[in-house]
Amino acid sequence: MTNWISIRSVLDKISQILPEYNEMDAIENCAEAMEMIGVQAQYQLATTLLKVDKYTAKLPTGLVQINQLAYKLNGTINDSDINEINLYMGLNNETSMKDSNMVKNYKIDILNSKYYKFQWQPLRLIKNSFSGASHSENCINLTAKCKEEYSVLPNGCLKTSFKEGYVLLSYYTAPMDEHGDFLISDSEYYKQALRSYCLMRYWEMMFNMREEGARDRFILYKTEWGRMKSRAYSDVNAPGVDTLENVKDIMTTLIPRNKRYNGFFGNLNSAENLNFN
């Protein structure tokens, strides 16, 4: 299980070293570093409702990859839909449901509901050079067969084959706290990796501006970023206790029992009965 902590824990460390470092630049650099580390465990699934207007819908801020995208079959949102969406997603603001972009929600129960199954249908992705990186490996839209289709544009928008309507989006995003700050894995290696990348980018900029001593600091933090990046990946991607228990159970079945010889290797054809966690 991943423990989360505010990105402020990294920003505060950076501000102690570089009080003049712009906070927005630091957050942007942290986002770049998170993408380079590339561990899916650092992201959470979220759902949101998007309004399509003039064949276009704006994707939510913080989207990393699309997990699933479906459109409303009749193209409208009525009171019954509002009740169902509120039930599964915990969103009860009717006004926000008619806006072009709702606030994201981490509850994804709606994807497994009967309401979703009968009222929504997955869209078919029009593949282009940009679409592969913006979708998860097992995204259903990659193979969906539907008359309605969509494409992802480099400007962060969806282009649909229908002029108006609603789409329900499930996507991976960096989690945020109640203050709107990113939450990151509470791993010392992970936090050090983000800090090193931010400082590396800062001193790279100062090196390009020909500041004295910037080159040595840039090389120092570039080396540290290279070491911490791999450690952060391993630390965040490490299997949990349940996964390790399953691995142990599988390995146990692959190793012959010590006393099989004394039993003339009998009962070798008996079926396995494994209880995985």
- Residue 108's pLDDT is 52
At position 40, the amino acid (one-letter code) is: Q
Residues 116, 219 within the same domain:
no
Residues of the chain with pLDDT under 50: 92-104, 106-107
- Residue 218's pLDDT is 95
- Residue 249's pLDDT is 72
Contact in structure between 221 and 196 (CB atoms under 8 Å): yes
At position 181, the amino acid (one-letter code) is: D
Q: Tell me if residue 20 falls in helix, strand or coil.
A: coil
Residues 77, 158 within the same domain:
yes
Residues 93, 191 within the same domain:
no
Question: How far is it, in rounded angstroms, from Cα 59 to Cα 35?
Answer: 18
Last residue of a domain, one of 221, 236, 251: 236
Label residues 44-67 b or e (16+ Cβ within 10 Å = b): bbbbbbbbbeeebbebbebbbebb
- Residue 174's pLDDT is 74
- Residue 261's pLDDT is 55
- Residue 102's pLDDT is 42
Q: Would 6 be classed as within a structural domain?
A: no
State which residues form the domain around 164: 44-173
Residues 49, 162 within the same domain:
yes
- Residue 35's pLDDT is 82
Q: Would 113 be classed as within a structural domain?
A: yes
Question: How far is it, in rounded angstroms, from Cα 223 to Cα 208?
Answer: 18
- Residue 101's pLDDT is 41
Residues 167, 182 within the same domain:
no
Question: How far is it, in rounded angstroms, from Cα 8 to Cα 104?
Answer: 21
Residues 36, 48 within the same domain:
no
Residues 52, 169 within the same domain:
yes
Domains in the chain, number: 2
- Residue 93's pLDDT is 40
Q: Would 205 be classed as within a structural domain?
A: yes
Per the confidence metrics, is the pTM higher than 0.85? no
CA distances from 247 to 234, 240, 241, 242 (A): 18, 11, 10, 9
